[in-house]
Amino acid sequence: LSYDLLSDFEPKGEVARMYGAYRSADGISERALFIVDKEGKLAYKDIHDIGDQPDNEDLFDVLRKLE
């Protein structure tokens, strides 16, 4: 399984802001996972505390449904 990662540098936080994952008070992004389908529509969104680890099975379920 491979997937693209986004590093949101310049302008700082622009994409994170668009997806509601930017912590403006800290100047960083939340830990966030997004799955975008082949049509470019958002199929999954999970924004969680930096210290939390999401359940990978939730992601795999979404990915299986997109096949």
pLDDT, tens only, 16-47: 999 999 988 988 888 888 998 989 999 999 99
Given this model, what pLDDT does residue 44 score? 94
Which tokens sit at 22?
Answer: 């930017």
Which tokens sit at 55?
Answer: 């359940």
Are 35 and 66 in contact by the 8 Å Cβ rule? The answer is yes
Please state the pTM of the whole predicted model: 0.74
Residue 1: pLDDT band (50, 70, 90) is: low
Averaged pLDDT, 50-62: 88
Given this model, what pLDDT does residue 11 score? 83
Which tokens sit at 57?
Answer: 């099975």
Distance CA 67, CA 55 (A): 20
Say which residue, 8 or 14, is predicted with more confidence: 14
